[in-house]
Structure 1
Amino acid sequence: MKKFKLILIIIILTFLTTGCWDMVEINQRLFPYSIGVDLNDGEGEKYIITISYPNINAIGKNATQQERVHVISTIAPSVFQGSSQLYTRLQYPFYFKHLRVLVLGHEVARDGDAIREILDGLNRDFVINKKIRLVMAEEKARDLLSAVPGAKRQEVIEGTLFSMLRRTRTTSRYTPQTLTGFIKNTDIGGVALMPRAAAHGEDIKVFGACIFKKYEFIGHLGELENRAISLIRGSVKSDIIDAKLGDAPISYSLTDASAKKKLVREGENLKVRIDVELEGALQEYILRDNPLIDSASTLKDMEKAIETKLKEEINKTLELLQKEYKADAIGVGEYISKFHPKVWKEVSKDWDEIFSQMHIEVALTVEIRRRGLVQ
């Protein structure tokens, strides 16, 4: 009887076991690094879709091919239609689970409706990672992706652009942006930043930022302006800041930064105070007459010189954001919506105009914690 029951259980389990009937071998899929989107200037569909993916035959010790990255393009009405069309020209289908970077061409970035279409499609897809990095090409996305395989620094496993756009990068000359971060910033404050990228010979450079307002590109920011925004937002991890004490150059290695916002209401007017505190080490300083830092007052003078330099950069950037772009790229609206929701309910409808007229006071404190081996 026990034997019969055991056989019966085994027979039932065979019907319940599905196995790996839909399994696809890894070498029968293509894993794109990056997707580039440009506007099509000619006849046909709206976009030029460019996809770069690694050549697995060029990976490993027994590589059979030298071309490490493939780049292929097609004209299509959407990113996913483009990938379907490219499948008819390739041996295997694309699998977007490991997609790392979306590159937007300069012209497509100026079309707010196009940006919405592209990002909405990527955000709805259940396969694509929502932490993919966004970057805007200086010219065409196709040209940038085509230049990457010839770059000096080539990352076969993760892709060159992605390795440069990691959030663990410590530079503040540009700020990495993700798909979810871009949508969140736009939905809350109406403004989001995206780094720029360009090919210069055999080098790929990522720098500065592009300002998007309600998903439409409105202007560029330089590297120092992007650094000023990072300081105000408290998102700087480390950087080198150059200043002058008299005629002597100072190089300050920033190791820690924090920023705190405070809303002050003066009648019907709003004022925001931002306290930025920086800590770091003296990286380089030389004075011919007295090369030694022999007093606390000299150290204080250095800190004041660095503060003056950074305040100039911050004030210039605030003037640009408030008067020219009317774009809250420093997160004041996000802060008010989180910590002062009643106030945000009053001002959210006219936030662009209110932000452009708002008094923003930035109090900057610089501390030199270490002066190096030489006193």
Structure 2
Amino acid sequence: MTNSVLFESTRLGPYSLRNRIVLPPLTRSRSSQPGNIPNDLMATYYRQRTGAGFMVTEGTQIEPRGQGYAWTPGIYSPEQIEGWRKVTSAVHAAGGVIFAQLWHVGRVSHTSLQPNGDAPVAPSAIAADNVKVFIETGPGQGALALPSAPRALTTAEVRELVGLYAQAARNALEAGFDGVEIHSANGYLVNQFISAHTNHRKDEYGGSLQNRLRFLREVTQAVADVVGKDRVGGRFAPLFATTEEDRVYLGLVEDDPHGTYIEAVRVLEDVGIAYVSLAEADWDNAPEFPAAFREDVRKNFSGKILYAGKYTAERGVRVVEAGWGDLIAFGRPFIANPDLPARIAHNWPLNPVDPTTMYGGTDKGYTDYPTYQP
């Protein structure tokens, strides 16, 4: 067996993980309609990938306003909770550990996805650019569209959203999840509060970096109070831009990503949660995290550190052996290879991903990828 460091068992909060390989959040848009309800097909998909030591669901919106893409699942209705129970039962029957990723897209949405066709909500009324959302244009049909202009949340509404995250965490426990991950990356709502480019608020949630981190702190604490801090993770996606082209990333690349995200990591450390997930940009020639940033994360966070973003097994081994990370997530390879851990262990070849079946559709390109037959 090669890449043996990835197959060491490790602890994550109260859980003993069989290996360091993670299935990260991957939007696949296969929920049942109407109602964005998880279903039997999704249960099969996750069960197939329980060779991972740890699994995190695709982003699941915490409330109706949190949706930014057609057919993504929610975790706010009784029907959705029951649907997710099918997933957790299937994963647990195969010995897996699975967290729900709690998601709110904020301004990265479209009026057609919002209740009553309203404007999306955001920290400030600043439209998202350099990104598109996926909207339904007919039964089972969709198209890309520019996000709609958002409206700014009132201070009272921000506090209500903290409560909605806590309720979503309660719903996740009811659905049988082992814990939750708070999506604070990729230009979505929590990230919009953190960024000075999207947060122009004048109240206690805007202005200084510590004020911009207040929403992250309150949400993380509220969720930890519900599920227990040792069953909570948080996800960031700092971008260390090397060219002006790289800097165009949902309109909110930080001027000082190192300083901003080390402070964000300290927020998670103060709450005492189980892990931080750090997603590197995954396009060709995207900049990697500097070694100094990885080392600073380790110095400032005592829980587990998870890395994701176009990782190969070899690159993952280097990060773990350097002491920078504890868990390594593989996204696209896991989509096309339900038996990915076995393939990594034995250096078996990988199935290629079919890009035409990534979002929406049937079992094709979802649950029909073959396992390796030696």
Same fold (TM over 0.5): no
Query: Greater relative contact order (Cα 8 A, min sep 6): structure 1 or 2?
Result: 2
Larger Rg: 1
Question: Which structure's residues are more often strand, by fraction?
Answer: 1
